[in-house]
Amino acid sequence: MMFRNVLCLAFGLLAMSGTPALAAHEALPPHEPSVGWPQAGIFGTYDRTALRRGFQVYKEVCSACHSLKLLSYRDLADLGFGAPEIKAIAADSQVTDGPDDNGDMYQRPAYAADHFVPPFANDKAARAANGGGLPPDLSLIIKARHGHENYVYSLLTGFDLTPPEGETVANGMNYNPYFPGHQIAMPPPLHDDAVTYADGTKANVGQEARDVVQFLSWAAEPKMEIRKRTGLKVLLFLFVFAGVMYGVKRQIWKDIH
């Protein structure tokens, strides 16, 4: 019984790392394109080059409206950023700290240990700046949607589609067949050459979407690779342990049989 429970736990570790939980009561978006993601599957790992490009897309495009509250600047070390780079990235943002010796709060550049500074001071400020709409935090957006990476990729690349005949798009809204209700307040966030990649990769909408989706997948589960390696080690140990126990059992009961 104990062996079976431990084996189930090991398979659970692998399953959790490859299949994030689904958001309850959410309609599955239609016609999601099948995109191969390097982090998918038991042996999948993150593409660090794509993650760095995806972070650039988030920083230069998405961060103007969307927060990433669960991630700290120092977590970027996992993407290959050095301490001076992380310090410079963090220092671009201001955080409220204090009180100082006079009892007053003050502004300072963010430190590597700080969480990503949100673009708005609070939800009301975010709604006021976005026509009443509240841009969601992207920390767990990949886990929080059916389809996960494919859904977000579909949403980001689905703005250029034409509404079917008879479907009216409300004023101030944008048609996107992958969004529930097919109408979304967010305008198309990505455009060809919206960023200039340092590695020379051509920045079209599809490439930018793939890169930022991979970055957001990592942001939602930065320890995924460790969990997969741990699960595989546990399985290997259990197989060896089962063989040893089987040999011990035969040795103990050989005279009886």
Tokens found for residue 202: 């051509």
Evaluate if residue 1 carries a pLDDT over 60. no
Q: Could you read off the pLDDT of 183-225 as tens digits, one per residue?
A: 999 999 999 999 999 899 999 999 999 999 999 999 999 999 8
Please give the pLDDT value at position 27: 45
State the pLDDT confidence band at 13, using cuts at 50, 70 and 90: very low
Evaluate if residue 7 carries a pLDDT over 70. no
In this structure, what is the dihedral angle of CA atoms 71, 11, 8, 239, given to the nearest 10 degrees? -130
CA–CA distance from 216 to each of 5, 189, 199, 248 (Å)?
33, 15, 20, 48
State the pLDDT confidence band at 81, using cuts at 50, 70 and 90: very high
Note if the pTM is more than 0.75: yes
What does the longest C-alpha to C-alpha distance in the chain come to? 85
Evaluate if residue 23 carries a pLDDT over 60. no
| Domain spans, the chain | 2-253
* Residue 119 to residue 142: CA distance in whole angstroms: 20
Report phi then psi at 36, rounded to 5.
Answer: -80, 125
Please give the pLDDT value at position 20: 39
Which CATH number is correct for 2-253, 1.10.760.10, 1.10.530.10, 3.30.70.270, 3.10.180.10?
A: 1.10.760.10
Please give the pLDDT value at position 167: 86
DSSP letter, residue 179: S
Region of 181 (left: φ > 0; alpha: ψ -120 to 50; beta: rest) is left
Any idea what the Cα angle at residue 55 is, between residues 45 and 223, rounded to 5°?
Answer: 35
